[in-house]
A and B are shown apart, each in its own frame.
Chain A
Amino acid sequence: MDDLYRELIIERYKMPHHRGVLEPHDISYEDENPLCGDHIRVDLRVAEDGTITEAAFSGHGCAISQAAADLLMESILGKHLDEVKALGRQDILELLGFEELGPVRIKCALLPLKVLKAGVYGLGHHEFETLGEEL
């Protein structure tokens, strides 16, 4: 618990490396966590072979969700869309350096991945909700 706000998280929250919007983009998706109103948008540029060449996030949220978004954007650069589809809860915890998160804060950490995957799958809202349960 006590390392929840260590340097990496605070730094990425205050000075994210991948914050912004991409216009034009190949994939864009946004959604919010209804519990806290946190909002995240993810934009991607994708090469013809399905490799992600650029990634950016925007929106607002707590330090955990914003740091998770920034680290996630960084981690998917140069990856294939199929690799993104395989990402899960454990990958986010590893990126943030947490062994586990409580039931409330895990939702903050996973919001960027939910938005990213919904964008990559090209899903509508209904399927997106289902996806969230599986994460």
Chain B
Amino acid sequence: MATETYILDVARIRADFPILQREIRPGVRLIYLDSTATAQKPLAVIEAMDRYYRWSNANIHRGVHTLGEEATALYEAARQRVARFIRARKAREIVFTRNTTEAINLVAYAWGRSQLRTGDLIVLTEMEHHSNLVPWQILAAEKNIRLEFVPVTEAGYLDLETYEHLLDQSPRLVAFTHMSNVLGTINPVREMAEKAHRAGALVLVDGAQSVPHLRVDVQALGVDFLAFSAHKMLGPTGIGALYAREDLLEQMPPFLGGGDMIKKVMLRTFTPNDIPYKFEAGTPAIAEAVGLEAAVAYLEEVGMEAIEAHERGLIAYALERLATVPGLKIYGPVADHRGGVVSFSMEGVHPHDVAQLLDREGIAVRAGHHCAMPLHEKLGLTATTRASFYLYNTYEEVDRLVEALHKVRAIFE
């Protein structure tokens, strides 16, 4: 049983998340191990959005009335908070999008279509989420661009030797995930970015899994584009962000056309607005920006270093305990090189059945290909079961997961 001491006051944190009090059925308390899909929300976020709608709701960048001023100030305060959180130089380097996927599509559409030429190379990796594959596949087909992939090793790491060989071919862009949503692998972003820049390539990092769980500093890491979603970092769905260096945003044409992204419109032409507004057409997710601001404030108060340390403890404990379940195969690297994510398969039992039986015990895990079909193919699997941890998870919950897996084993034996 768990005897570890906590780096965080987890009991106090858990009290901030109303949903964690829920019983999935009478007497069976929810054990939420699916934060990699989406994180639960603290009261501070729920109440901030509620307060916004009750007190300040208006459209932004338009009305001169009190509500319009307030809403605009709240929306722009969120941008500033997010910029500081990832250590961007300026708030105008943050473009609000719907999510990580839209942020990557924005780069493929606005940067890729304007800057890339036939025969240009983009280097991706085999461990990418579909959101960092499909936009480039669409672009490649349209502009006749080449895509190459850094392989994943047996142990779940990127093959950096092959990466260097691919850099010899002078790619224009290298796009990869900071943390794999399947294997949990934390990739050496700083080292990879440095090498990419030396080869003349720009660097896009999918931060969907890293920004919620690690201290991410875009300047220290040396990334040119960073994409992430609010809903995986305690915030609401419907808003995400793209960080991009100011000079890159300046040279990119608009993404979507419409209101707010223009300075002036004539019948046949328009003048685009300044960055970042140039990329934010139409009324954005204002209440969601307010929620995101509250989420970042919450994360900052707890401290990203403390969250990371807590998850490292949990994943090390989970890997150790899961190894005791007969017939369980665990994928991905050792605890030191991974975030709080573990995917596994149980011999002779389909991942959907594992997930369904765990649900009986109130345990929420994900089963499937986790939007990473090429990676699963590489592993020789169609699907896996995945447990993931966040600041509100406990060692006792890991114990409950392991006990429940023993039960699953017994049913199928």
Task: Give the CA-CA distance A36 to B352 in the complex, in Å.
Answer: 8
Assess the B353–A1 pair: CB atoms within 8 A.
no
Query: Among B349, B368, B412, which residue has its beta carbon within 8 angstroms of that of A36?
Result: B368
Whether the pair B353, A36 counts as a contact (CB closer than 8 A) is no
In chain A, what residue has the closest Cβ to B354? Answer: A62
B220 close to chain A: CB less than 8 A = no
Check A5 against B369 for contact (C-beta < 8 Å): no
Flag if A4 contacts B369 (CB, 8 Å). no
Contact of A37 among B348, B349, B353, B383 (CB under 8 A): B383
Query: Is A108 touching B352 in the complex (CB atoms < 8 A)?
Result: yes
| Cross-chain contact of B350 among A1, A4, A35, A63 (Cβ < 8 A) | A63
B375 to chain A: closest CB distance in Å? Answer: 13
Residues of B within 8 A of A39 (CB): 382
Residue B141 is within 8 A (CB to CB) of chain A in the complex:
no
Count of A-B residue pairs with CB < 8 Å:
43
Q: Does B64 contact A (CB under 8 A)?
A: no
| Cross-interface CB contact of A38 among B360, B373, B382, cutoff 8 Å | B382
* Whole-angstrom distance between the Cβ of B340 and the nearest chain A Cβ: 24
Chain B window 392-406, contacts with chain A (Cβ cutoff 8 Å), 1 for yes, 0 for no: 000000000000000
CB-CB contacts of A33-44 with B at 8 A, as 1s and 0s?
Answer: 001111100000
Report if A35-B382 is in contact (Cβ < 8 Å); known contacts: A2-B360, A61-B350, A105-B356: no
Cβ of B266 under 8 Å from chain A: no
- Whether A4 and B368, one on each chain, are in contact in the complex, defined by CB atoms closer than 8 angstroms, is no
Q: Is B411 interfacial (CB 8 A cutoff)?
A: yes
Instruction: Report the Cα distance A62→B346, complex, angstroms.
Output: 12
Contact at A36–B382, with CB atoms within 8 Å? Answer: yes
A1 in contact with B383 given A10-B412, A61-B350, A62-B350 (CB within 8 Å): no
Q: Please, how many residues of chain B have a CB less than 8 angstroms from a CB on the other chain?
A: 18
Q: Give min CB distance, A46 to chain B, whole Å.
A: 31
Within 8 A of A (CB), among B175-204: none
A125 is an interface residue with CB less than 8 A from chain B: no
Q: Which residues of A contact B376 (CB under 8 A)?
A: 37
Distance, CA A5 to CA B369, complexed state (A): 23
Q: How far is the CA of A10 from the CA of B411 in the complex (A)?
A: 8
Q: Is A14 an interface residue (CB 8 A)?
A: yes
B369 close to A37 (CB less than 8 A) = yes
Interface status of B357 (Cβ within 8 A of chain A)? yes
Contact B382 A5 (CB under 8 A): no
* Chain A residues positioned under 8 Å from B348 (CB to CB): 14
Are A62 and B352 CB-contacts (below 8 A) given A37-B383, A38-B382? yes
Q: Which of A1-24 contact B (CB under 8 A)?
A: 1-2, 4-5, 10, 14
CB neighbours of B412 from chain A (8 A): 10, 14
A4 to B353, CA, bound (A): 10
A5: B residues at CB distance < 8 A:
353, 356-357, 411
By beta carbon, the residue of chain A nearest B408 is A5
Cα A2 to Cα B412 in complex, Å, equals 15
Q: Which B residues touch A105, using CB under 8 A?
A: 352, 356
Q: Chain A, 43-55, contact with B by CB distance < 8 Å: what is the 0/1 string?
A: 0000000000000
**What CA separation (Å) do A14 and B376 show in the bound complex?**
24
A85 interface residue (CB < 8 Å to B):
no
Residue among B351, B352, B369, B412 with most chain A CB within 10 A: B352
Shortest distance from the beta carbon of A35 to any chain B beta carbon, whole Å: 7
Smallest CB–CB gap between A18 and chain B, Å?
19
A36 and B411 contact, CB distance less than 8 A: no
Tell me, in angstroms, the Cα distance from A108 to B356 when the chains sit together.
13
B contact residues vs A (CB 8 Å cutoff): 348-353, 356-357, 360, 367-369, 373, 376, 382-383, 411-412
Known: A10-B412, A14-B348, A63-B349. 15 other contacts (CB 8 A): A1-B360, A2-B360, A4-B356, A5-B411, A10-B411, A36-B382, A37-B373, A37-B383, A38-B350, A60-B382, A61-B350, A62-B350, A64-B352, A64-B353, A105-B352
Listed from nearest, the 4 A-B pairs whose CB atoms lie closest are A37-B382, A62-B350, A62-B352, A63-B353
